[in-house]
Structure formats: structure tokens, C-alpha cells
Amino acid sequence: MTELKGALIGCGFFAINQMHAWNDVEGARIVAICDRDPERLKVVGEQFAIARRYSDAAELFADGGIDFVDIATTVQSHRELVEIAAKHKVPAICQKPFAKTLADAKAMVEACRDAGVPLMVHENFRWQAPIQAVRKALDDGAIGTPFWGRFSFRSGYDVFSGQPYLAEGERFIIEDLGIHTLDIARYILGDVSAVTARTKRVNPRIKGEDVATILLDHESGVTSVVDVSYATKLPTEPFPETLVELDGSDGSLRLFQGYRLEVTNSLGSTSADVSPKLLSWASRPWHNVQESVHAIQQHWVDQLKRGAKHSTSGEDNLKTFALVEAAYESAATGRTVDIEAALR
Ligand code: NAD
Ligand code: 89V
């Protein structure tokens, strides 16, 4: 089987996980890296023995010799980099948040569609082993037809030491973390027609909101709650676990802290350990996220080779990104926001 050659742009905090995962992915390897910070370029180049190094993405694309690009920079550069990739007809993976605005995200999808190149957003949380286990239980009919759900991420973990920029933006938890939780809600319960949200800032040392409570009306008629907080101190820190509650026509499902999945239906109750694997390069508590990075990157390669759509294609992710913008709009205005109108 031919091995795809990839380039990674943005050698920062999270890219280390992506580089480790690329080493484990079957059917692809990273042959070039790019970062405008010479120190990061050197650190990652030496750690992963990558000889082709660039400080300017335009030079990387001009030199060519790559089958795809993995964009791991922060959001400010996503549109520009995806558009250069489209111009050079190079399939692209783009980290979340997809873009600064929904209008930018739509333009990026259009640029790739017009160029005929695949675009996938690195929205990895739906690829976490416990979330896949929830999806499987639903698909197996374990609780019948769901009518209510809750997707909850409440933590007091210090994310700012690894990612200091998170303390500086006007927007914080919905854009950075809630985006994952909203994507999980869509993945499990389907697309959303309306969003109502309330936000708060509890930590006085950051600029944006660190608590959000979001009510989703799904197109199927199901109601769900997405609640996220980085201001919640608990006896056992749950970071980075997403807890799930689903009630259905034939039973209920609970994904509890500690990666325990309980299903109750007419057959009784079952309890399963759905812990993620601790990959050789991973470390707790991040191993859940790290395993999902490997899973989404393997999915990228497999689908690219088959010429098939990606689960979190640019087009798919517009529907998650629209929920982020709608949540901010609802929190600012106090009103419920219609999603179909936003996506038009
Ligand atoms: P970071 O600031 O540590 O790293 C970004 C790197 O990109 C920096 O080294 C910077 O110099 C480089 N860069 C920026 N613009 C560039 C450009 N135009 N050309 C070349 N290099 C450029 O950021 P991070 O914490 O690694 O986050 C990166 C992205 O990953 C963010 O969008 C963040 O939201 C996302 N992230 C995702 C997850 C996840 O689980 N999916 C987890 C953490 C972070
Ligand atoms: O996934 C992310 O984007 C991270 C974290 C999990 C820490 O919120 O920023």
C-alpha cells in the first residue's frame, strides 16, 4: 500500500500529540514541518527527526512533494492556510476551532470544494473511546429512541498553563471546549434546529467566559443540555472527561466519571469499563484525548485512500461551528437562535 506523505504546519503545544500519532498511523508519515517560530521548528524537527523544515507555509507548498497537510496552528491562521492548500490542490486537515467566524468557515469549505480537495476538521472528541461506546449502545438499540440528553464537561483543571492564549481571548469556553461538547451532542443526537445559552465568567484572571449552559433543540425533537465549566472544583478532577446522560423510550444510559458506562433497560442494568487505551507516548489524564487524535488521523488516511467522506468534513463541521456562534448570540441577546437561518 502506498504511504501518503504529509506536512504539519504549527509545531506548538498540541502538535506534539499529532506528531506522535502520525508515527503510529498506518499508511502515512510526516515528511515536512513548518512553524514561523524557529525554536518550535527546531524542537519538533529534532524530536521527530524531520529534515524538511520551513518557516513560511508558502515555501512549503511551493516545494511540493506532499499528499496532504495537517494544520495545527491556532485559529487566526486557519483560513489563510486552508486557502493556500486549496490553491495547491493539497487535501487539508484543519484544527478546531475551524475559523474565526462562520463566514470564514463557509469560505474555506467553498475553496476546497471548488479545488476538488478533501477538507477535514480535527474535531477529535467524537473519536474518544467512551463516546464511541455511547454511540454503539444507541445504534444497538439499547435504550430505544432517545428523547432527552445531557453532555457535561465540568472541571477545575488549569488549562492556561499549557495554552496561555486561552486566558486572553474575548471568547473562551464555548469556542475552545464547548465546541467539542456541541459536536458530541450532534454526533449522538443528530443535527440541531435551535440554541439557547447562558454564560458566566467566574475566574477573574481570564477575559472570556468559563461557564456555559446551552439548551439544544435537535431536529428529531429530542432536547439536550450541553453544560461546560472550567470553574468547577470537584473531589476527583474529571479532566478531560465528557459525561453523558441519555433517556430513551426503552431505557437509559449514563457515562459516569471514571469511564463507566451504565445501561438500564427491560433486561436489567449493565455496567462496562469504557476507558481509553494508554498509548505508548500518552500520559494521564490526557490519554483519552491523545487516543482520539490517533483515531481521527487514521480515519483521515483511510477515507482519503478510499476517496470517501470524512466524519468531521469541513461541511459537517459548519453545523457544529454554527452552534458555537449561536450560543454566543443567544447568551448576548437572551433569545433562542435558529440554526437553519444561520447556515443559509
Ligand atoms: P500553540 O500556540 O502552542 O501552537 C501553535 C503554533 O503554530 C505556534 O508554534 C506558532 O508559532 C505556529 N503558527 C501560528 N501561525 C502560523 C503560521 N501562519 N505559519 C506557521 N506557523 C504558525 O497552540 P496549541 O495549543 O498547540 O493549539 C493549536 C490549535 O490546536 C488550536 O486551534 C487549539 O484550539 C487546538 N487544540 C486542539 C485540541 C484538541 O483536542 N483537538 C487540544 C488542544 C489544542
Ligand atoms: O481540546 C482543546 O481544544 C483543549 C482543551 C481540552 C484543553 O480544552 O484546549
CATH 2.60.120.380 matches 4-117: no
Q: Is the CB of 177 under 6 A from ligand 2?
A: yes
Ligand 2 atom nearest the C-alpha of 163 is 9
Residue-by-residue pLDDT tens, the chain, 344 positions: 689 999 999 999 999 999 999 999 999 999 999 999 999 999 999 999 999 999 999 999 999 999 999 999 999 999 999 999 999 999 999 999 999 999 999 999 999 999 999 999 999 999 999 999 999 999 999 999 999 999 999 999 999 999 999 999 999 999 999 999 999 999 999 999 999 999 999 999 999 999 999 999 999 999 999 999 999 999 999 999 999 999 999 999 999 999 999 999 999 999 999 999 999 999 999 999 999 999 999 999 999 999 999 999 999 999 999 999 999 999 999 999 999 999 99
As for ligand 1, residues whose beta carbon falls within 6 Å of it are 9-15, 34-37, 40, 57, 72-75, 77, 95-96, 122, 124, 163, 176, 289
* Set of cell numbers at residue 194: 435551535
The dotted CATH code for 125-285+320-343 is 3.30.360.10
Residue 344 CB contacts under 8 Å (≥ 6 apart), including other chains = none
Cβ atoms within 10 Å, residue 62: 11
Best substitution site from 163, 182, 286 to test ligand 2's pocket, by max atoms within 8 Å of Cβ? 163
> Which residue's entry shows cell 487539508?
92
Distance 35 CA to ligand 1 centre (A): 10
CATH 3.30.360.10 range(s) for the chain read: 125-285+320-343
Question: Which ligand is in closest contact with the Cα of 11?
Answer: 1
CA of 95 from ligand 1 middle (Å) equals 8
CA of 14 to the centre of ligand 1 (A): 7
Residue intervals in the chain for CATH 3.40.50.720: 4-117
pTM: 0.98
